[in-house]
């Protein structure tokens, strides 16, 4: 195995960040990740609730910035729409963006965690 096999490009393609072959997500699921890589055997889930940090540390701050930029942009118009409309639209944008980008947030969370806390050989998942 190469000295530093972990690749961000693999994770952003929603593939195993080590080998780049196996998909991170379960078949037919938008946000559920597999337990580990079927090819190289690296475990994705280290513990229950492993991906809980992804929404809090990645998705929500990004969504907040996008919504804030939208709100400031709309309210800086010469004649902005009513506040309830701006809040409603920004809420829909935020929820939609959060749902659409959750797999990539989880993949980035996985990559960063494995970058700072690399797996040991005894952390391998059984290859099928």
Burial of 93 (0-12, 13-18, 19+ CB in 10 A): middle
Cα 117 to Cα 21, 71, 114, 123, distances in angstroms: 21, 38, 5, 12
pLDDT band of 1, cuts 50, 70, 90:
very low
Average pLDDT, the chain: 87
Domain locations in the chain? 8-123
pLDDT 10s digits, 51-87 = 888 888 999 999 999 999 999 999 898 898 998 999 9
* Reported pTM: 0.82
pLDDT 10s digits, 81-90 = 998 999 999 9
pLDDT 10s digits, 96-120 = 999 999 999 999 999 988 888 887 7
**CA end-to-end span of the chain:** 19
């Amino acid at each position: 195995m190469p000295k530093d096999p972990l690749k961000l490009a693999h994770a952003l393609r929603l593939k195993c960040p080590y080998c780049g072959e196996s998909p991170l997500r379960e078949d037919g699921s938008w946000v559920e990740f597999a337990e580990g890589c079927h090819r190289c055997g690296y475990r994705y889930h280290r513990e229950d609730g492993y991906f809980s940090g992804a929404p809090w540390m990645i998705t929500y701050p990004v969504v907040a910035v996008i919504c804030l930029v939208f709100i400031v942009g709309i309210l800086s118009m010469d004649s902005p729409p009513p506040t309830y409309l701006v809040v409603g639209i920004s809420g829909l944008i935020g929820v939609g963006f959060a749902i659409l980008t959750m797999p990539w947030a989880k993949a980035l969370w996985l990559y960063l965690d494995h970058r700072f806390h690399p797996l040991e050989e005894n952390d391998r998942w059984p290859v099928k």
